[in-house]
Amino acid sequence: MPHKYQPIIDIYQKNKPNNPKYTWSQAAHEAGFEGKWTADGKGGVKPRTGNRRGQYVKRSSFDQPSTEMAGYEAKRLKAESTRISNEAEMMGLEPTQVEHLADQTDSKGMTSGAPGDPTNLQQVRQSEARFKDALKLKVGSKYAVTLNPSSESYRVVPQRFYDPIADPSTLPGIDVPFGANIDDVPGQLSELNPSVKGSRGSISFRRGALTSAAAGGILLLGPLGTTASAFETAGRKQIADETGNPIDRLQQHISSFSLAADVASYAPPLTIPATVASSLADATNIGIDTTRGFINLFTRR
């Protein structure tokens, strides 16, 4: 459904990429509206009320960290960005700013931490932040837009699959490089794999369940262990088919090997070596999942 101020949005998206200082008010005036205008935080635009105190309270609430240490690290990151920006402007270079990986709308899906934590903040060039804003406006509120450090791009994810603390590359969606033609993005989103559109639950949550299944393959004996391995293998294949991620495909093959070893362990001469091989394969997948989680945690700083 088009936004009620769609003419303003269209003019803003057309001019902003070529003029970083272009404002919502300028776009509104060109569209025939009067007064001052600003982003509404939901992918649209709204008249500016002049209630600066209310806006400050809302922004302060959004920027709240989850712990005192997180607050300290967030302040340190913002101070560092300010220092770099000042030096850049002195040298005629583009300034930087601290951007939220998940904005006020997208951060509502957080199940741990807080929007003001340093893990939800990233220092970027101002043009990169403006591009993210324009991309969010283009795709609308049904999609979340976040930075994807692993591909140095922006990840557009259907809102119902979005998990703010997950590795963006594991979530169903598309990557949009900085500076790309965002007019093409809605069409690309409409061509998403139907299995991605119809699947339930975030991939990060499903991967967590498969990690537990891999642990079950180690701890459970006989048919129970084999059942856990079969469940894990089927789940890994589904995720690999949805994401196309080579690491997901590798984990699928490791799980398949574990399942084959489980089956082989029923033959007495192979019981011990096959059980050991299956357990090592399960432990490898658990290690990969754990490593991916840590990499995501630190690359999103």
Asked if 216 and 228 touch (Cβ cutoff 8 Å), the reply is: yes
The first and second tokens of residue 109, run together, are: 């899906």
Q: For residues 174-199, give the mean pLDDT.
A: 74
Q: What is the CA radius of gyration of the chain?
A: 23
Listing DSSP states for 97-133 in one string gives: EEEESS-TTGGGG-SSS-TTSGGGEEEEEHHHHHHHH
* Confidence bin at 254 (pLDDT 50/70/90): very high
CA distance 271 to 71: 53
CA distance 87 to 96: 10
Position 153 pLDDT exceeds 80: yes
Asked if 192 and 144 touch (Cβ cutoff 8 Å), the reply is: no
* Confidence bin at 197 (pLDDT 50/70/90): very low
Strands of 136-182, DSSP E: 143-148, 153-158, 174-176
Q: In this prediction, what percent of the chain has a pLDDT beyond 90?
A: 2
Asked if 144 and 163 touch (Cβ cutoff 8 Å), the reply is: no
Polymer length in residues for the chain:
301
Instruction: Output b/e per residue, 7-18; b: 16+ Cβ within 10 A.
Output: bbbbbbbeebee
State the DSSP code for 267: S
CA distance 31 to 29: 5
User: Looking up tokens 């049904």, which residue turns up?
Assistant: 142
CA distance 78 to 177: 25
88-139 per-position pLDDT tens digit: 888 888 888 888 777 777 776 666 677 778 877 888 888 888 888 888 888 8
pTM of the model as a whole: 0.49
Provide CB contacts within 8 A for 203, sequence distance 6+.
Answer: 161, 166, 170, 171, 172, 239, 242, 243
* Cα–Cα nearest to 244, from 179, 172, 183, 297: 172
